[in-house]
Amino acid sequence: MEQHEPAEEETLESLRHRLRKFAGDRDWDQFHSPKNLSMALIAEAAEMVEHFQWLTEDQSSQLPLRKLAEVEEELADIFIYLIRLADKLDVDLIDAAARKIDLNEKKYPAGVVRGSAKKYTEY
Amino acid sequence: MEQHEPAEEETLESLRHRLRKFAGDRDWDQFHSPKNLSMALIAEAAEMVEHFQWLTEDQSSQLPLRKLAEVEEELADIFIYLIRLADKLDVDLIDAAARKIDLNEKKYPAGVVRGSAKKYTEY
Amino acid sequence: MEQHEPAEEETLESLRHRLRKFAGDRDWDQFHSPKNLSMALIAEAAEMVEHFQWLTEDQSSQLPLRKLAEVEEELADIFIYLIRLADKLDVDLIDAAARKIDLNEKKYPAGVVRGSAKKYTEY
Amino acid sequence: MEQHEPAEEETLESLRHRLRKFAGDRDWDQFHSPKNLSMALIAEAAEMVEHFQWLTEDQSSQLPLRKLAEVEEELADIFIYLIRLADKLDVDLIDAAARKIDLNEKKYPAGVVRGSAKKYTEY
């Protein structure tokens, strides 16, 4: 069985390597086409949605600890497939997100959209 | 208009702060209940799925550059909502994913599942 | 170009036949594996979710007419892929749903669960 | 406990009525805002996607009976929420789908798109 020394400081990069090794060690890489991984990711996203579907927005902000732990695990699952998918497509997640935020900052200037709740739904 | 000095080295942590400020500056925090963010995340996940739905698995591994750039932007959008959601729920994504990988390593011992493609679908 | 005489009374059955012919006439049946159709269906479901993600529950019950027309089209798209998928898997949707409702009626006896809003989230 | 006489011939319309009564009898209508129902629908769609995510397209067309029974139940769940959602929004599913198919027949003329597998992914 593989040994994993708890890294003192895991990073997105170290997780990417662990996940790549995890799939490789199990010969599961053959299943990890981007198409399949996209399905796995959305299935995990839906498990998270399921936790929130009958809650009010307020309730969703004040989850009991036990429920929060379950949601945390769903977020982890989404993140894991997202990292794996980005790795297969050779996408740098941090960089891609940073550039998207740059774009959004230009697209929605704070001075114009601030306080305009109504408009939000039109974006 | 807000200024964003391109960080020399963005991290998950710096993105989390930028996104928090982004929502705050626009008074959009009011819309960012975990319930709503879970919906936004799955909607972005579906935009990614849409890129792959009529492709074969092989085609999904060899995207033309233009298509790859579009998929990259979807991954960024998913990541952005995932970071935002984790921030609202006070979840440490790196830590949560690391613990989930620990669990998976124990749940699926490489020596047992390796080479057993068939079994994979049963997990 | 194919002619479609507006049926005086379309049914689930007549739609199933129209969709089968639609795919056949375009040689698109080759793309309609259940795997691919499941992706197309969830992508359409997400387009519907997107309409509701920033709305309150009350707002989602009182859509402006223009928005309602858009949501109606998403519902149609979901239905179309659902019919198509059921056709490919030789599943009778009406019958399957009727049997599931039978099950649910037994699983959640009205006398036990009525008025218990809290419990709902546990089902 | 409510009695349900097995209808000799269930229809979309009879299912709509049964589901409305089902929710009413349990006082669950309060949870069935279109927003919430859209979340429940996509969560069920994802359970279906999950069945297909590691299968090849061919495998997805030749499901073992046991797996097919599970997928059938997911299709039923999707259909149930779709009917419920359409009922809440006062949308006629059959009519909406028929009109969408009319549109698609015009948008993608068989004579133009036939045999053009490649183009399909661009639609």
Secondary structure in 3-state letters for chain D:
CCCCCCCCCCCHHHHHHHHHHHHHHCCCHHHCCHHHHHHHHHHHHHHHHHHHCCCCHHHHHCCCHHHHHHHHHHHHHHHHHHHHHHHHHCCCHHHHHHHHHHHHHHHCCHHHHCCCHHHHCCC
- Structure-model confidence comparison of residues C14 and B120, the more confident one: C14
Which chain C residues are closer than 8 Å to B77 by Cβ?
A: none
The pLDDT assigned to B123 comes to: 46
Q: Tell if the CB–CB gap between C34 and D91 is shorter than 8 Å.
A: no
Q: Tell if the CB–CB gap between D36 and A53 is shorter than 8 Å.
A: yes
**Segment among B93-102, C59-68, D7-16 with least mean pLDDT:** D7-16
Those residues with Cβ within 8 angstroms of residue A53's Cβ, 6 or more apart along the chain or in another chain: D36, D39, D40, D43
Question: What length does chain A have?
Answer: 123
Q: In chain D, which stretches have pLDDT less than 70?
A: 1-8, 115-123
Burial of C121 (0-12, 13-18, 19+ CB in 10 A): middle
The pLDDT assigned to C1 comes to: 44
- Structure-model confidence comparison of residues C15 and B116, the more confident one: C15
Q: Give the neighbours of chain A: at least 3 Cβ pairs within 8 Å.
A: B, C, D
Q: Tell if the CB–CB gap between A60 and B35 is shorter than 8 Å.
A: yes
Write the single-letter amino acid at D73.
E
The pLDDT assigned to A113 comes to: 84
Of D95, C87, C42, give the one whose Cα is nearest residue B50. C42
The pLDDT assigned to D8 comes to: 64
* The pair of three-digit structure tokens given for residue C37, joined into one six-digit string: 């159709």
- When pLDDT is averaged across residues B34-40 and rounded to a whole number, the result is 98
Give the SS3 label for residue C87: helix
Between the alpha carbon of residue C111 and those of residues B19, B104, D54, D87, the distances in Å are 47, 42, 41, 24
d(CA A67, CA A73): 10
The pLDDT assigned to A111 comes to: 83
pLDDT-based confidence at residue C123 (cuts at 50, 70, 90): very low
Give the SS3 label for residue A111: helix
Taking the CA of residue B9 and the nearest CA in chain C, the distance in Å comes to 32
Q: Is A19 on the interface with B (CB under 8 A)?
A: yes
This prediction has a pTM of: 0.91
What DSSP line would sit under C9-71, residue for residue? S--HHHHHHHHHHHHHHTT-GGG--HHHHHHHHHHHHHHHHHHHTTS-HHHHHS--HHHHHHH
Which chain C residues are closer than 8 Å to B43 by Cβ?
A: 46-47, 49-50, 53
The pLDDT assigned to B122 comes to: 53
Model confidence pLDDT, tens digit, residues A38-73: 999 999 999 999 999 999 999 999 999 999 999 999
The pLDDT assigned to A114 comes to: 81
Q: Which phi-psi region, left, alpha or beta, contains residue B81 (left: φ > 0; alpha: ψ -120 to 50)? A: alpha
* ipTM field: 0.90
CA A111-B89-C39 angle, to 5 degrees, is: 85
Which chain D residues are closer than 8 Å to B42 by Cβ?
A: 42
The pLDDT assigned to B51 comes to: 97
The pLDDT assigned to C9 comes to: 87
Between the alpha carbon of residue D69 and those of residues A91, B23, D66, D83, the distances in Å are 38, 45, 5, 21
Q: What are phi and psi of B23, to 5 degrees?
A: -70, -40
Please, what are the averages of pLDDT over each run of 10 residues along chain A (123 residues)?
61 97 94 98 97 97 97 98 98 98 93 66 51
- Structure-model confidence comparison of residues C25 and D1, the more confident one: C25
Those residues with Cβ within 8 angstroms of residue D17's Cβ, 6 or more apart along the chain or in another chain: none
The pLDDT assigned to A24 comes to: 94
- Structure-model confidence comparison of residues B2 and D67, the more confident one: D67
pLDDT-based confidence at residue B4 (cuts at 50, 70, 90): low
d(CA D91, CA D33): 14
Question: What length does chain D have?
Answer: 123
CA B61 centroid distance within chain: 19
Burial A88-106 (b: 16+ CB within 10 A, else e): bbebbbbebbbbbbeebbe
Among B35, B47, B50, B56, pick the best mutation site for testing chain C contact (most C Cβ within 10 A): B50
d(CA A32, CA A14): 19
Q: Tell if the CB–CB gap between B25 and A114 is shorter than 8 Å.
A: yes
The pLDDT assigned to D123 comes to: 46
Which residue in the set B51, B94, B117 is minimally distant from A11, CB to CB? B94
Q: Is B50 on the interface with C (CB under 8 A)?
A: yes
Q: What is the mean pLDDT of chain C?
A: 90
Q: Is B62 on the interface with A (CB under 8 A)?
A: no
8 Å CB contact between A56 and D55: no
Tell whether the torsion through CA atoms of B13, B16, B20 and B23 is positive or negative: positive
Of D10, D52, B86, give the one whose Cα is nearest residue C36. D52
Residue of B nearest to A114 (CA): B26
Question: What length does chain B have?
Answer: 123
